[in-house]
Structure 1
Amino acid sequence: MQILLVEDDTMLADAVCHGARHNDWKIDHVGDAATARLMQLDRLYSVVLLDLGLPGESGLSLLRAMRARYDITPVLILTARDQMSERIAGLDAGADDYLVKPFELGELWARVRAVIRRSQGRMVPLLACRDVELDVARGTVTRAGARVTLSAYEYRTLLALMERPGYVFTRAHLENAVYDGAGAIESNTIAVFIHQLRRKLGDDVIVTVHGQGYTIGDGIRNGIGPTAR
């Protein structure tokens, strides 16, 4: 069990972290959404415990961004906001459960176990383009049935392209999809990821649209003009 706790109340966070470790669960604690985004770039979590009232970006915004990129990690909202409208907004944004503060740690762990059990039967897409398949649930990529090992950033680049086959992504759009708005980005990073993907998947999978960006698939959408490989 690997938990990500996103909570700016340090006293509550300390209590939750202590309880998790007492249960022999690993837990990472961050106090804002920006840091949570960075943590999620390189780590896979069993569940996210998410406060809504965070400094800067709200927890609700972070949750929506997770679901927009097909991140199916169970999310349990922890908040002092007990209005029905707040609960509905959180659940509609993709939360798996909602726990109002103050709460007993025993109930928190019971809800954590429950959302993880429910998530095991969740259906998620299998994306395909030609003989390349991306299994969103497992985070795996194959070509012609053979497993292809990708870095986290290469995987995110490919996922963005395969979600919208034929759509031309500018470098800026891919940077936003890969880094999710977190951290400084060097100017050539996307080009490096594209180069690595072509080396691993073949030169014919990702197409360069000169002066525009990159696409995947056989056709170009939105009327953006001719392609060159």
Structure 2
Amino acid sequence: MRYYILKDNNTEEGPIEQEVLVRMIQMGQVKADTKVRNAFSPNWIEAKKLSVFEEAARRAELDADSIEDLEEEEEEVYDPQESLNQVGRTRFVSARPVQRMMAWVFDMIITVGPAFVVLALLSMLEEEMTKDMRYFLATFVLSVTPWWFLLYFTVGLGFKAQTVGQWFWGIMIIRSDGAPVFAGRAFMYTLLAVFLWISSPLFYLIMPKRRTLPELLTGTRIIRITLRSV
């Protein structure tokens, strides 16, 4: 997970990886009461009030002898998946079915809609264009559309974490551990979503975290752009 810090001059610095920020707090480079926020939330909160930085903030306030005594204590064991899926005291919220469906329809209009418009126009221009020309244009459109479809979803999900349709309906894609989804994983998710779409409603209903089969196979989650308190 990446975080931003609010500096004294009221400017943001980041994004900073969670592990790096932990070390900065321990070394005193970032004060425990410095306000931070994660990449998915606009809300600022003091670093020491977030569970992921609480231990680092406590260590930063101890002297060397106290730290040595602390390290001898039995460490509490955390579930990695649980801790990665938790941002401070919040959890990700799965996108609702209607949001997913409407975002998909929106994106289909953008990616496939132009092809239908062009094909409809070609059918209306029988007298103005030769048969060979109409055949060539129709073949070209049908050949380009699948590549445009893959490019649209791969770039949108891989670099922006959401397509235009998902942005409009307030949802986005992340990895199951909360990290960003990059192009390779976005490409695989897109392919699986196309071929396994018919299974999506069933898996959404039966899976505890409301994840579809493409999400499970690629280690991703479609979430609402909001965070729910634990």
- With normalisation by structure 2, the TM-score equals 0.28
Between Structure 1 and Structure 2, the one with more helix by share is 2
- With normalisation by structure 1, the TM-score equals 0.28
* Structure with max Cα Rg: 2
Could you say which structure has the greater relative contact order, defined with CA pairs below 8 angstroms and 6 or more residues apart?
A: 2
